[in-house]
Structure 1
């Protein structure tokens, strides 16, 4: 009797790993693991009740496969990168950013000089507090 119980538990473990959405629902507290196991024993794994958990699991598996393919492609491109070229591009960008900051500072100085030397200030010499 112990072996048959152990076998059904092992089958349930295999079953639940094939249905990742079922695992998610148990972890979120929407389903009880004991009750799910009892349903599994009573209904069997071919019952239509389990389809909604399997379909989403298949979609998630496809998403994970496409995600893993994306990582493989990304890693392939990283392997072929020339570090010296990347460093040169970073230095060029750094220089461009520095030039933009210098231009902004010059524009600010120009604006502040223009505002401080406005004609209304020259007509009325007001002492500054």
Structure 2
């Protein structure tokens, strides 16, 4: 398999990114895209203040992350306390009915019973009495 030769400016940008790993974190966090960073690097150069700002954000970001890792369980417990049990029961019942309807449709396509082990009694004639109008 042949590799494409990259443009020299792209190779220089890759070297710049390797020397500044905080840029990778910015992309992974969704704060910027590679295209945006490349364009900024190409237009502004390596000595621009933008790259220094990324470095300072990295150092100030470490403290809130430690707190947020410890607080996620407290946040979940707070949400559980705020839940209305009657509303949750209603949602669970609706979900159960929807799943039952989906199972019914699937069983119709398969031609089998709606659930294994539950057999319907044989159906009799539609009209048990054979009365006819005169």
Q: TM-score category by the smaller chain?
A: 0.3 to 0.5
Higher alpha-carbon Rg? 1
| TM value normalised by structure 2 | 0.35
| TM value normalised by structure 1 | 0.37
Higher helix share: 1
